[in-house]
Amino acid sequence: MNRAADSSSPPRTEQRPHSYEHHGVRVEDPYAWLRDKDYPKVDDPDILAYLKAENAYFDAWKTPRQQLIDTLFEEIKGRQKEDESSVPVKDGEYFYWWAFQPGAQYRQWYRKPAEGGPDQLIFDEVKEAAGKEYFRLGAMEVSPDSCFAAVLIDDNGSERFKLKVRDLKTGKDLETVTEVGIGSPVWTSDSQALVFTEVNENWRSYRARFHRVGAPLAETRTIYEEKDDKGFSVGLSKSQDRSLIFVATGDNTTSEVRFVAASDPMMPLTLIAKRKRDHQYEADAAHGKLWILTNDDHVNFRVASADPQNPGRWTEVIPGSDQTYLRSLTSFRDHLALTTRVDGLDQLILRDYRTGKEERIPFTEASYSAGFGSNPEYGPAAYRLSYSSMITPGTVYDYEPFAKKLTPIKVQEIPSGYDASQYATDRLMLPTRDGKRVPVSVVYKNGFRKDGSQPLFLYAYGAYGYAIPPSFSASRLSLLDRGYAYAIAHIRGGDDLGYQWFLDGKLTKRTNTFNDFVDAAKGLVAQNFTSPGKIAAQGGSAGGELMGAVVNSNPELFGAVVADVPFVDVLNTMLDETLPLTPGEWPEWGNPITDKAAFDYIRSYSPYDQVKAQAYPPLLITGGLNDPRVTYWEPAKWAAKLRDTKTDGNTLLLKINMGAGHGGKSGRWDSIKEQAEAYAFVVTENGGAEQATPSS
Residues 6 or more apart whose Cβ sits within 8 Å of residue 328: 282, 293, 338, 339
Choice among 284, 609, 662, 666 that is catalytic: 662
Report which DSSP code applies to 268: P
Amino acid at 132: K
CA-to-CA separations, 496 to 345, 346, 431, in angstroms, rounded: 8, 9, 16
- Phi and psi at 26, nearest 5°, equal -95, 130
C-alpha 689/C-alpha 691 separation (Å) is 5
Residue whose C-alpha is closest to residue 23's, from 607, 605, 595, 608: 595
The C-alpha atoms of residue 283 and residue 184 are separated, in whole angstroms, by 17
For residues 141 and 149, what is the distance between their CA atoms, to the nearest angstrom?
A: 5
Residue 412 has phi, psi (to 5 degrees) of -50, 125
Instruction: Say which of 541, 569, 606, 666 is annotated catalytic.
Output: 541
Q: Do the beta carbons of residue 609 and residue 568 sit within 8 Å?
A: no
Instruction: Return the closest-CA partner of residue 104 out of 120, 133, 81, 74.
Output: 81
Burial 517-554 (b: 16+ CB within 10 A, else e): bbbbbbbbbeeebbbebbbbbbbbbbbbbbbbbbbbbb
Torsion sign, CA atoms 476, 479, 481, 484: negative
CB 166, CB 174: distance < 8 Å: yes
**346 is a catalytic site residue:** no
The Cα 648–Cα 655 span in angstroms is: 20
Report helix, strand or coil for 129.
helix
Residue type, 291: W
Helix pair 596-605, 511-526: axis angle to 10 deg: 30
Active site (annotated) includes residue 627: yes
- Let me know if 29 is a catalytic residue: no
Given the residues 516, 606, 627, 666, select the one marked as catalytic.
627
Tell me the β-bridge partners of 339.
Answer: 328, 348
Q: β-strands 437-445, 485-489: how paired?
A: antiparallel
* Residue 507: partners with Cβ closer than 8 Å, 6 or more residues away: 587, 588, 589, 590, 598
Q: Which of 297, 362, 308, 300 is nearest to 331 (CA)?
A: 308
CB 478 within 8 A of CB 679: yes
Question: Phi/psi of residue 406, each to 5°?
Answer: -110, 110
Cis before residue 431, ω within 30 degrees of 0? no
State the catalytic residues: 541, 627, 662
